[in-house]
Amino acid sequence: MTGTNGNGSNGNGNGGTSVGTSRVKQGLAQMLKGGVIMDVMSVEQAKIAEAAGAVAVMALERIPADIRRDGGVARMSDPALIMEIKNAVTIPVMAKARIGHFVEAQILEACEIDYIDESEVLTMADDIHHIDKTKFNAPFVCGCRNIGEALRRIAEGASMLRTKGEAGTGNIVEAVRHARTVQAEIRRLASLPKDELFVAAKELRCPYELVKEVADKGKLPVVNFAAGGVATPADAALMMQLGLDGVFVGSGIFKSANPEARARAIVQAVTHYNDPKVLMDVSTGLGPAMVGISDIKGDPVNFRDREGGMQQYDGRVPPKKELHGNTEVQMYGSSWAN
């Protein structure tokens, strides 16, 4: 499936053509702003998503809710599925690679995927290092809980960010926490005197240059989407009003009773996020949303705290639930436990 149009073949006869520049990679994310990116597991679902007005689809073998429920090692999707979906829709197609698994990313780039999500929802392949994303022509999106994590990912070459939320729960609380945390930290950096930014960078464990850029501009250098727990049009509009640039919806659509209607409603809600009348209209009569998980603290699966080089077992083991072996929270601790 290698096209006639490989990297760098454009602009024959003209000098100065360059592919894979950060402007081009970040630019696609800018084009997706104000849009909804939907997780799909088949060609049929991809077509439903496109027809509903999705700006991109994420091709997956299992959506996060199923990964949570079934467990097992979650890996990159079969390229056959990705190519099938890529051929079925005209909108950009994204796919997930495991954290640190740069070969999965190489394979996805060979598939001419439009965006790679180095995702905490898949099982980590490297618990210390993330992928060196600067090496790729394909752009990357990564999750973040706070400004330090956001800037670490940008330093590694991410062209787009999203909140981590807690995928597959249908519960927006973590996404809201991450969105507000990042914004509060940006406001704090912007208010610091210049000579305090060096220590701020040290404390945030990320490069000073990026800290300074955020402090100067008062915003992240790349687009930041909401993800992890969006289940209703109201959830999507909430994240937009909180200042995010767009929305990923994973399990929320195809785990609900009426995916077509819900997908269309969420698309409209993201465009008209400031218009409660439109939001009322599109929220009406959608049927049951996904059931979801209300007790994120007590759930044995914790996607959000997966980050390379950041996991420490601090000896505080919370009371054990009915499980076999320690949960990830018990082993690594949680953002809730602090």
Contact set with another protein (CB under 8 A): 1, 3-21, 23-25, 27-28, 30-35, 43, 47, 50-56, 86-92, 109, 112-115, 137-139, 261, 264-265, 267-268, 270-272, 275, 281-282
How many whole angstroms from its chain centre is CA 279? 24
* H or E stretch at 3: none
CA proximity to 304, closest of 162, 130, 115, 125: 162
Torsion 335-96-122-107 (CA) sign: negative
- The CA distance from 316 to 87, in Å, is 49
Asked whether residue 39 is marked as a ligand-binding residue, the answer is yes
- Does 212 qualify as catalytic in the annotation? no
Q: State yes or no: 180 annotated in a binding site.
A: yes
What is the C-alpha separation between 153 and 33, in angstroms, rounded? 19
| Residue pair 167/64 in contact by the 8 Å Cβ criterion | yes
Q: Measured from the CB of residue 192, what is the shortest distance to another protein in angstroms?
A: 25
Here the tokens at position 34 are 């104000």
Residue of 86, 96, 133, 255 marked active site: 96
In the complex, the smallest distance separating the C-beta of residue 8 from another protein, rounded to whole angstroms, is: 8
For residues 135 and 19, what is the distance between their CA atoms, to the nearest angstrom? 12
Annotated ligand binding at 250? The verdict is yes
What is the H or E stretch that residue 248 is in?
A: strand 247-249
Give me the residues paired with residue 98 across strands: 119
Nearest distance from C-beta of residue 166 to another protein, angstroms: 26
Q: Least distance in Å: CB of 14 to another protein? A: 6
User: In terms of CB distance, is 94 or 204 closer to another protein?
Assistant: 94
Residue 308 is given by DSSP the state: T
Q: Does 168 carry a binding-site annotation?
A: yes
Minimum distance, C-beta of residue 275 to another protein, in the bound complex (Å): 8
> What residue type is 12 in one-letter code?
N
Q: Residues marked as binding?
A: 39, 168, 180, 229, 250-251
What amino acid positions are annotated as catalytic residues?
96
